[in-house]
Amino acid sequence: MPTETSLAARLLQGDKRALARAITLVENDDPRGWELVREVYPHTGRAAVLGLTGAPGAGKSTLISSLTKARRAQDREVAVLSIDPSSPFTKGALLGDRIRLSDHFLDPKVFIRSMANRGALGGLSEATLQAALLMDAAGKDDVFLETVGVGQAEIDIIDHADTVVLVLIPGGGDSIQALKAGVMEIPDIIVVNKADHPMTDTMVREVRSVLSLGEHEKGSWRVPIVKTEAYRDIGTDELIEQLDKHRAYIQAAGQLDERRSRNLRNEVLALTTGRLRRRLDAALEADAGFQELLDQVVRRQLDPASAATRVLERLDSGDLRAP
């Protein structure tokens, strides 16, 4: 097995196998992976990170395939990171075959990776931004992040991407879901995919009406609505144009650095929270007093909030320690 130093050098040269190995190390929370990220981190910050989110079946993978084709025609290198639902048994990605991206598997300038969300409620894995940083360090010009299908609360794609695209489809009640504020507040661009549906124009009007209520929150950027038929590559050129316009806008307004600063801050907090949770789980697993505390809650002798307060008190006092 190559040393991690040579792995970093190969990754910086754009070696696809080195990149795949590096993401695996990070995803498995291997200390060698985090050391690798530290080594290549100064070489990041160049890629354009695009986040695509939307309901299951909206055609996100097909749209990414069409976008990849368009970016490759511009001679740009592309990486795709698809966050899939986890198997409750293996914790692996259920949709890891990425069938809809198969046209690009043999392209040496395209890197495609699936990552299980490991139960993350926000639609993204804890290691997502770290994997995106590795793709950036490997010289990719565009990094596409595809989340699992989201609901109202699952919007943490905004903590990972420079530009957020919300993918909707007409019909099937989806337009009603689109009007709910939790998701409608996050996109920089909205795509209505499968636009050959007869309800497309109706949905565009409804979405535009809702957007008009909150456009002041996006400043002078007016969120565009792009109609696409991704499986036929229709509308992709217009979407590419809007992506480039948005990037130019946030760069000119100084918002790109602000977004990335916010994203990295939230990533630090997320990683810290995750590691504290694992340490706490380990400490409680080995603590007999915690089981007694749970038994009191089950017997209705102690309420859950009071039990949590006692756990925190023991943690603060140093009485509770991870083995």
For 155-181, what is the mean pLDDT?
Answer: 72
Region of residue 59 (phi > 0: left; psi between -120 and 50: alpha; otherwise: beta): left
For 23-51, what is the mean pLDDT?
Answer: 91
Is residue 195 within 8 A of residue 228, CB to CB? The reply is yes
Domain termination residue (choose one: 204, 229, 253)? 253
pLDDT of residue 245: 96
The tens digit of pLDDT for each residue in 235-258 reads 999 999 999 999 999 999 999 999
State what percent of residues in the chain have pLDDT above 90.
46
- Structural domain contains residue 258: no
The overall average pLDDT reported for the chain is 83
Q: Are residues 245 and 290 in the same domain?
A: no
pLDDT of residue 275: 82
33, 41, 79, 244 from 20: Cα distances, Å: 11, 17, 11, 28
Q: Total structural domains in the chain?
A: 3
- Structural domain contains residue 262: no
What is the helix, strand, coil percentage profile of the chain, to 5?
A: 55, 15, 35
DSSP string, 3-69: -HHHHHHHHHTT-HHHHHHHHHHHHTT-HHHHHHHHHHGGG-S-SEEEEEEESTTS-HHHHHHHHHH
pLDDT of residue 322: 64
Is residue 131 within 8 A of residue 81, CB to CB? The reply is yes
Write the CATH number for 212: 3.40.50.300
Is residue 28 within 8 A of residue 132, CB to CB? The reply is no
- Structural domain contains residue 322: no
Contacts 24+ apart (CB under 8 A), 311-314: 311/284, 314/289
More confident residue, 206 or 70: 70
- Structural domain contains residue 289: yes
Q: Are residues 21 and 58 in the same domain?
A: no
Domain termination residue (choose one: 253, 283, 307)? 253
Q: Are residues 290 and 159 in the same domain?
A: no
Cα–Cα dist 143/163, whole Å: 11
- Structural domain contains residue 277: yes
pLDDT confidence bin for 67, thresholds 50/70/90: very high
Q: Which tokens belong to 304?
A: 């859950």
pLDDT of residue 162: 93
Q: Are residues 123 and 29 in the same domain?
A: no
Q: Are residues 219 and 274 in the same domain?
A: no
pLDDT greater than 60 at residue 153: no
Between CA 166 and CA 70, with CA 159 as vertex, the angle to 5 degrees is 45
pLDDT of residue 119: 45
Cα–Cα dist 84/93, whole Å: 5
- Structural domain contains residue 259: no
User: By C-alpha distance, which of 148, 144, 150, 160 is closest to 85?
Assistant: 148
pLDDT greater than 90 at residue 115: no
pLDDT greater than 70 at residue 89: no
The tens digit of pLDDT for each residue in 220-230 reads 889 999 999 99
CB count within 10 Å of CB 54 equals 27
Q: Are residues 184 and 309 in the same domain?
A: no
Q: Are residues 31 and 111 in the same domain?
A: no
76, 107, 131, 208 from 113: Cα distances, Å: 18, 14, 10, 34
Q: Are residues 29 and 54 in the same domain?
A: no
Q: Are residues 162 and 218 in the same domain?
A: yes
Q: Which domain holds residue 118?
A: 45-253
Is residue 284 within 8 A of residue 320, CB to CB? The reply is yes
pLDDT of residue 121: 40
Q: Are residues 2 and 99 in the same domain?
A: no
Domain termination residue (choose one: 228, 253, 278)? 253
- Structural domain contains residue 22: yes
pLDDT of residue 103: 75
Which amino acid, residue 215? E
Q: Are residues 176 and 309 in the same domain?
A: no
